[in-house]
Amino acid sequence: MPGPIVQIEDLTKIYGHGEIEVVALDHVSLEIERGEFVALMGPSGSGKSTLLHLIAGIDRPTSGRCIVDNVDVGALNETDLAEWRNRHIGFVFQTFNLIPVLTAFENVELPLLLTGLTVSERREHVEAALELVGLRDRMRHLPRQMSGGQEQRVAIARALVTDPALLVADEPTGNLDAHSAADVLSLLQRLNMEAGKTVIMVTHDPKAAAYSRRIIHLEKGELLGKEGQMLRTLAMGLKA
């Protein structure tokens, strides 16, 4: 059996100082197994995006540990953290984050420019990633020449091109119509089920969450439901 790819231990994130402190995450503990497709759900301000950003190494915890693929992310310095993110995490965001003046090929190639791959090796990786998302025939198109759904698929190809251990998606269908959203969610599901990618997705949409294998609910920085209750019971037992 594969072990967990994410181990979160008593994780807390506080923004601000003194009287204007905001507790975004409050002593959260959680494990995510390799090969899972997990949806993080909750109302605005529940801490779901904060949790995703801590897992992805975009932000750092105030206390607690976040271990991803056997690395304590919070213990890395900025240089090592940037290199680790590029190798191990694939990012998919609501706003696509494509560079308008670059073609689909050039946008997908960007993460590979930080590696030691040759030009021909980079081309091979980019073409394979675009093929995987069904856009190899659009590789010379600029973002403005594509639909929103195609732009998001290019963004997913860019996230995949370094063959990361983990895909993190923050509201990946938030800017898409229903048909394009379904295409993108089906693609993430296929990458999980057929390519074995671990996917963690933040969403407020129950229809989107239904594509995942497990739904984790947060509210006011805490886990809710059976999973959260089990963890709180365990924590109380340890303190007794």
Q: pLDDT, tens digit, for every residue of 22-72?
A: 999 999 999 999 999 999 999 988 999 999 999 999 999 999 999 999 999
What is the pLDDT at residue 17? 74
What is the pLDDT at residue 229? 46
What is the pLDDT at residue 115? 86
What is the pLDDT at residue 114? 84
What is the pLDDT at residue 230? 41
The domain 4-239 belongs to what CATH superfamily?
P-loop containing nucleotide triphosphate hydrolases (3.40.50.300)
> How does residue 226 score in pLDDT terms, banded at 50, 70 and 90?
low
Record the tokens describing residue 20, joined without a space. 């204007």
Q: Phi, psi (5° rounding) for residue 141? A: -85, 145
Q: What is the pLDDT of residues 142-167, one digit of tens each?
A: 999 999 999 999 999 999 999 998 99
pLDDT above 80: residue 225: no
Rounded mean pLDDT, 195-200: 94
The separation between CA 1 and the C-alpha centre of its own chain, rounded to angstroms, equals: 23
Query: Is pLDDT larger for residue 128 or for residue 226?
Result: 128
Domain locations in the chain as residue ranges: 4-239
What is the pLDDT at residue 1? 46
172 Cβ contact list (under 8 Å, min separation 6): 92, 93, 94, 152, 156, 184, 185, 188, 201, 203
pLDDT above 50: residue 239: no
Mean pLDDT across the chain: 90
pTM comes to 0.88
Residue 158: is it exposed, middle or buried by C-beta count within 10 angstroms (0-12/13-18/19+)? Answer: buried
What is the pLDDT at residue 86? 87
Please report, as a single letter, which amino acid is at residue 28: V
